[in-house]
Amino acid sequence: MERTALDLWVGAFVLAGLAALAILAFKVGNLSSYNVSESYQLKANFTNIGGLKPTAGVRSAGVLIGRVTDIKLDANRYEAEVTMSIDKRYQFPKDTLISILTSGLLGEQYIGLKPGADDEMLKDKDMIKQSRSAMVLEDLIGQFVAGKAESAK
């Protein structure tokens, strides 16, 4: 009888540990903070996406409004085509500026939307025309070194 009670407690402890690991995985994956309510798709092309990954956040004014759902190479333009799922509660004008930003100095990359002033709103499957690619640290260092070498001549 004592052995059965001990087995029951060990089993409960193992289940609690597995539940804690699942919650931790969702937190680390940043999946718990986005509500999967009704959404619409937007697309944008970038010359360089840096380290942007699918499931990266889409933010406007710092508020999480969606997620990146797909990244692929546009074979005609040789640019990255990023598809995002945006919560239907948030509508953006046609002249919205889209950027790839980094949280902190070396943090994760995410998509930032800065609304424009157009009266017409983006619709499902629309392409955002104005995009600003990711700033790649290696490129910035290379430009700095090249500028210093040029000025030393």
Predicted local confidence at residue 70, as pLDDT? 95
Domain interval for residue 4: 1-32
| Structure token digits, residue 87 | 């919560």
The average pLDDT across 47-64 equals 91
Predicted local confidence at residue 136, as pLDDT? 72
- Order across the sheet with 79-87: list the strands: 126-128, 39-46, 79-87, 63-74, 57-60, 109-114, 97-102, 130-132
pTM for the structure as a whole: 0.69
For residue 153, tell me if it sits in a domain: no
Q: Which long-range contacts (CB under 8 A, 24 or more apart) does 67-71 make?
A: 67/34, 68/111, 69/41
Q: What are phi and psi of 43, to 5 degrees?
A: -130, 155
One domain for residues 21 and 50: no
One domain for residues 86 and 27: no
One domain for residues 55 and 108: yes
d(CA 115, CA 111): 13
- Characterise 148 by phi-psi region: left (phi > 0), alpha (psi -120 to 50), beta (else): alpha
Q: How many domains in the chain? A: 2
Q: Are 57 and 110 in contact (CB under 8 A)?
A: yes
Within the chain, what is the greatest distance between any pair of CA atoms?
87
pLDDT of 74 > 80? The answer is yes
Which ranges of the chain does DSSP label H, i.e. alpha helix? 2-28, 137-152
One domain for residues 49 and 27: no
pLDDT of 100 > 90? The answer is yes
In which band, very low, low, confident or very high, does the pLDDT at 81 lie, cut at 50, 70 and 90?
Answer: very high
Q: Which range has the worst mean pLDDT, 26-35, 118-127, 132-141?
A: 26-35
One domain for residues 88 and 123: yes
Closest CA to 98 of 75, 127, 64: 127
DSSP 148: H
Predicted local confidence at residue 35, as pLDDT? 55
One domain for residues 116 and 73: yes
7-40 pLDDT tens trace? 889 899 999 999 988 888 777 665 545 555 789 9
One domain for residues 58 and 125: yes
One domain for residues 8 and 68: no
